[in-house]
Structure 1
């Protein structure tokens, strides 16, 4: 029995979160959400209310214990942010094992239960079921089942599969205490160079809208409740049309443009998310440049700072009354080691942190992502610059989600059960099948695929683990000695490493270096060449078309999954969720906000061959 567990005189169990020996209305699981929120809000100090408005990064200590010193990215000891700053929302980064994650959740919830009103913690995460490892975007699966990136789910073109993935991922999240997903990412990646496409569902607005609904249904259920994972749908009003494809994490990528006039199309997945009662919405960092909507110029500031976007469009026009969580570090510069990333205060760079916070509150933001400067908000309240009623409005939305998730009634998890559920064999097998099936075959001359038919061939391979290949073929040390060659490569990008996080983002040109093209051509001169490209962004595949016997792309697949697809053991059935441009000239000439906007693509969206011939389109 935990310290806060009590029983009423009538024998009804409850959690005595404020330690007064009485079941107060907010502790009563029989009451409705609004009644419980009203009661708790009336009891909270301004310090406790203010803490609710912050959502920052947290890291797990060794063995699943609480980390009581700043981490690689987290700013403060755990006890300090929970007990002194009253924060109750944390985005968890590394998680080595399921048992460690579950143990840490229980320790964190015990710490929170010891605060004055025992408000439980909401643990959130960026996507963590695929392959990308980037602290600003997503995490590799680790102990969780591993699936293709969302762009690979889009390549499967199967709404039911998206729903099934979300149900499995949500079950694994809940097992370790993660109750909020900082996804789905439903941006339409219409600028081919944009570096965050792997986590999107492509740019066909009809399919993305359908998949958004399925994704939310899988994680949240028919309605938000104790079996749900609350979703923060992002990045409103659509982060895809970045100028020159540069990402808005960085000062050079702050501008978002709509030269084709397609702003409304980018809104469509969010309209569906609102219809499906998404628990939260996150605006993007980008600032619109030259955008005029319904005759009204839109202020050129980051979307979270824009009252026109958050209050007038999202709240009033689209009728959304859930939580608006800003993206990370909009108020203060982020210092990590000897690197710094300026606050993404695009369009309001000259404002002070105090003035930026006021702008965000006025725009309609409820929670400040990546920040823990509670003292700044309290100063604004003490000065009369922010009314307590304004704090209450956001606190109410935030508490409503906690109560609906059942966190006040039971925030703990079973550590043995977590170990059984997370990464269960059936979940891993389903993820691996999806990885293989999402492989998309774009070229297959002379029926090169399926590979490995007949006698055991000798294969010259690059980028494929020898142990994976050994299940299908013998290894050749040189192309001259091989029956066939298989080369796995990544989509090209321009390495950068000046600002914090920058090295993890793939940005810049989509052209492969000429030396690589020449080397692969030489391999193809000796034996049939199969090229497999990891497509985290569209790549200019044009140079490979004349000499490659087969070209396939994948969106997060292990060597084993790729070989299963190429052999036909798990038939590849992916179709391109985006165009593959013919040239960088075509990319530069395209309108950033227009789907299918590059002229004469070498492979069109929807292209996908079976290994026996073209799919019916």
Structure 2
């Protein structure tokens, strides 16, 4: 470092003493907090979606998603927390955009750096309402698939690889893991959980957190994790999701509220830094019947006091203002407080104990509450301290920028992709194998559906008709009901039964040739008719066709185990209690089932 550079740095530290990295974080927080206006504090309390411009440029206003420009977010609204929307073709483009956004933040009065978060980006999930496409990142099975491996070391390795890929492009907060228990088979968010078992979910959730946060060495190389959805989003009435008004109720007919807290307790023990409460409202419990983001008895009484959690609490997206999604009106998820105005909702959320408003960009409402004397500025300081503390702990004030040239070499490297591919193979569960048709012999004549012929050609001779084949391999999606809007259909919900047409088609192919059916089990489908018709059935939670065929042909071992029960019928599902695990009568396959070939 030259003398001129040293002098400039010393002058900057003198003007902004919170930049002195030799000081304790708590002291740096107080130094910066003392300089902040109420407007700057209010901006910190909001985190919402943001888009990037083409090839790493800053984005202008986005009419499709109704988002302002990047400049308006930072310069006019004073916001410094954003959830990156969409996917870029290269890691370098994300990194360049991130650096430009940090330059924009540095130009503000106090130069508070931006924190970028993301939903999951490493999986094959087809539900963009809950996750993102992998793009340049290495590709892994979804959380249910990780659970199917039963391998905590593998899950921690995934977190470590994802951490390296995230930090390479400037993403410093993971809006995951999701440790809700999948006790209601119909729930649309099952895929992102670790399944139905509380002990396994806690063990794997903790491993996931350690991988992302760099073990005990939380700092400049870490990604802060936000565990969700406290106090457990699984017990949904009729399996409906509280993104929608018809799914707002969480019910506990089996009295298992406490069971759903167990994975969160494991996450707290693992040092998780942030928590997201769910949309749902508890019914017939000791807690107030309002959405968890508004719920003081849950956020303050349960989370802050009982569990002594002093990290960041960020609400789920869109609790305050109505919005439009894909051109359709979409009400705020203000369950139990629909009658309140947006201003009153903000007041109730702050009173409940949350620090940050997810999916919202309305700091003017906080300013109005302070101006009216309804919220004291000292209440804002409580949350601002937590939010600033995280930025300091992540090293963002020392070095907010990333190496854009290095990002392309790190993200999606051959080593990381190979690890993801191996995890895909390890997660596949073979559920039935009548007449020992598996493993099949490479070189046989294959009829395939849902598999690209050029991929199948590496395993056998691909033919156009089941009648000409030695073996058929069909890939199916677990069933779900079509709903009224595009956004609703991102959330696979409703019946778990395959249609008669699908079952008849499987039976027709199976009548002509021994048939293997692989099902993407984003929910525990009613597999009985498929198992009866097919020679063999497998389940996956995000796996390439090559990974599947490696397992089916014996090139890779079959080691996946079910992360939930497979129900025997919809009647059994409907009769089960949403909060109780393993509660469907006479399941077809039990949790942990999986054949070894």
Structure 1 length as normaliser, TM-score? 0.94
Match of 2:94 in 1: 101
Deviations 1:468-498 (A, max 9, x none): 0000111222111111111100000001243
> Which aligned pairs between 1:38-53 and structure 2 lie closer than 5 A?
38-53=30-45
Tell me the SS of whatever aligns to 1:51: helix
CA drift at 1:14: 6.4
Question: Does residue 578 of structure 1 match 2:567?
Answer: no
Decide whether the 8 Å contact of 2:87 with 2:133 is kept in 1: no
Decide whether the 8 Å contact of 2:47 with 2:360 is kept in 1: yes
Cα distance in 2 for residues equivalent to 1:99 and 1:495: 38
Give the number of aligned pairs: 594
> Which aligned pairs between 1:317-396 and structure 2 lie closer than 5 A?
317-336=306-325, 338-396=327-385
RMSD between superposed Cα atoms in Å: 1.5
Match of 1:615 in 2: none
- Structure 2 unmatched runs, 5+: none
Tell me the SS of whatever aligns to 1:532: strand
Decide whether the 8 Å contact of 2:83 with 2:119 is kept in 1: yes
Match of 1:281 in 2: 275
CA drift at 1:74: 5.2
Match of 1:90 among 74, 78, 82: 82
CA drift at 1:133: 4.2
Deviations 1:72-117 (A, max 9, x none): 3252111111011110000001231101000001000000000000
Deviations 1:540-566 (A, max 9, x none): 001122221100000001111111111
Q: 1:539 to 1:569 in 2, by over 3 A?
A: same
Match of 2:508 in 1: 522
Cα distance in 1 for residues equivalent to 2:201 and 2:125: 21
Match of 1:422 in 2: 411
Deviations 1:216-269 (A, max 9, x none): 110112142111000010000000110111111111110101111111110011
Q: 1:71 to 1:82 in 2, by over 3 A?
A: same
Decide whether the 8 Å contact of 2:87 with 2:134 is kept in 1: no
Question: Does residue 272 of structure 1 match 2:266?
Answer: yes
Question: Does residue 231 of structure 1 match 2:225?
Answer: yes
Compare 552-561 and 70-79 and name the one that shifted more: 70-79
Match of 1:434 among 423, 426, 438: 423
Deviations 1:297-339 (A, max 9, x none): 2111101111100000000011001100000000001123521
- Structure 1 unmatched runs, 5+: 292-296, 612-617
Tell me the SS of whatever aligns to 2:324: strand
> Which aligned pairs between 1:58-207 and structure 2 lie closer than 5 A?
58-73=50-65, 75-96=67-88, 97-207=90-200
Cα distance in 2 for residues equivalent to 1:399 and 1:277: 18
Segments of 4+ moved more than 2 angstroms: 5-9, 13-16, 21-25, 70-74, 133-136
CA drift at 1:276: 2.1
Tell me the SS of whatever aligns to 2:191: coil
Decide whether the 8 Å contact of 1:327 with 1:368 is kept in 2: yes
CA drift at 1:71: 4.8
Deviations 1:160-196 (A, max 9, x none): 0000000000100000000000000000010000001
Tell me the SS of whatever aligns to 2:435: helix
Match of 2:554 in 1: 568
Structure 2 length as normaliser, TM-score? 0.97
Question: Does residue 604 of structure 1 match 2:597?
Answer: no
Match of 2:494 in 1: 508
